[in-house]
Amino acid sequence: MSVDVKLKNVKVLLAINDEGEVIGKVTLDLAHKPYAEIVNLMVHPSYCGQGIGKRLVEVCIRIARIGDSTYNIL
């Protein structure tokens, strides 16, 4: 069985610790211009309160603005 999924206009960002483990994740949906939507945001409980979620959101905002200032960050 083969599944082919095209994720046009969707960005998945991962926060990874020094051991290579995923400690945070966010999905950014850019498919419905002029809106950019953070679909989900997760941070491993052991890493909460360290600014990882904030940093992931900041990167999402920067990505939404790069090359196209017509996205509205909601």
**What digits encode the pLDDT tens for the residues 33-73?**
778 889 899 999 999 999 999 999 999 988 888 745 455 54
> d(Cα 37, Cα 27) in Å, to the nearest integer?
8
The answer to pTM > 0.85 is no
As a three-state string, the secondary structure of 5-61 is CCCCCEEEEEEECCCCCEEEEEEEECCCCCEEEEEEEEECHHHCCCCHHHHHHHHHH
Domains, in order of start, for the chain? 13-73 (3.40.630.30)
State residue 63's pLDDT score.
Answer: 86
